[in-house]
Amino acid sequence: MTKGTPRKNWSREETILAYELYCRTPFGRIHSRNPEIIELANLIGRTSGSVALKMSNLARFDPELQKRNIIAMPHGSKVDGIVFEEFSKDWQELSYQAQIIKAQLQNKDVAEIIGLEDIESIPSGEYRERMMKTRVGQYFFRKSVLNSYGNHCCITGINEAELLIASHIKPWAVSDEHTERTNPSNGLCLNALHDKAFDKGLITLDSQYRIIISNRIRDVEMDKETSAWFWKYDKQSIDLPDKFLPGKLFIEYHNDVIFQR
């Protein structure tokens, strides 16, 4: 931007893109050198510093930041609050609308934007759109959850991406498609073994984010080293995420419905 050129107001579409990226970006990575921020800046014709500032402005509406007394940037536009309020209650729609906007800006199909080539063969219509929303939501959920935990298992600290799962606390099948299925607070970053144990109710969390192991594990045949590896985490606190703390209501559901005592 040249000196004397008035700043262009952020549109609703640009703000949606910034909010979607905010959800997928750890706080420590919200800066002008982040490649994804630079990519978005180039897409919408802004500087990377401007995009990073917009993401910081959006952070001030985050209730988890407010609870933890983390101070975000105090300034911003009215549209920031409107977009945050609208899409923090419909995560699937946020992720889908962001991909639609990106596709329009690049003159591409949404399926092409995030590599969903297998959907391109499905004829246009309600079923195709529903499939697209589901797949885009799954992509958003995984990226948001893993990035919030710094791409580390919250129990063991394992940081090999091929071994990590964005695990639902309240199962996908019984979660509300708008407020729960793709809500990052309904997720934990777990290694593949603990993900399976959590999914089957052999481990859970208590309200203080401590790991509780089912007594059924005692009856499972395994070598001493594996048994010791499981039980060493009993009553230990998980590593908490940078944002999107596990929702207490999701944990209560897992305790009451999934966990095998």
pLDDT at 69: 60
Q: Which residues of 23-61 are buried (b: 16+ CB within 10 A; e: fewer)?
A: bbbebebbeeebeebeebbeebebebebbbbbbbbbbbb
Whether the pLDDT of residue 72 is over 70: the answer is no
**Rounded CA separation 59/25 (Å):** 11
Element containing residue 110 per DSSP (H, E): helix 110-113
pLDDT at 2: 43
Is residue 115 very low, low, confident or very high in pLDDT (cuts 50, 70, 90)? Answer: low
pLDDT at 254: 98
Q: Is 167 helix (H, G, I), strand (E, B) or coil?
A: strand
pLDDT at 117: 61
Share of the chain above pLDDT 90, in %: 61
**Rounded CA separation 164/146 (Å):** 8
Q: What is the pLDDT of residues 155-203, one digit of tens each?
A: 999 999 999 999 999 999 999 988 999 999 999 999 999 999 999 999 9
Across all residues in the chain, what is the average pLDDT?
88
Q: What mean pLDDT comes out for the span 6-12?
A: 81
pLDDT at 78: 84
pLDDT at 5: 44
Between 21-25, 55-59, 61-65, 166-170, the lowest mean confidence (pLDDT) is in 61-65
Distances (CA, A) of 181 to 13, 104, 195, 253: 23, 26, 17, 14
Between 49-53, 164-168, 219-223, the lowest mean confidence (pLDDT) is in 219-223
- β-pair type (211-213, 203-205): antiparallel
Whether the pLDDT of residue 3 is over 50: the answer is no
Q: Is 191 helix (H, G, I), strand (E, B) or coil?
A: strand
Whether the pLDDT of residue 73 is over 60: the answer is no
Sign (positive or negative) of CA dihedral 181, 182, 186, 191: positive
Measure the CA angle with vertex 157, ends 153 and 161; round to 5°: 55
**Rounded CA separation 95/82 (Å):** 16
Q: What mean pLDDT comes out for the span 75-100?
A: 87
pLDDT at 65: 67
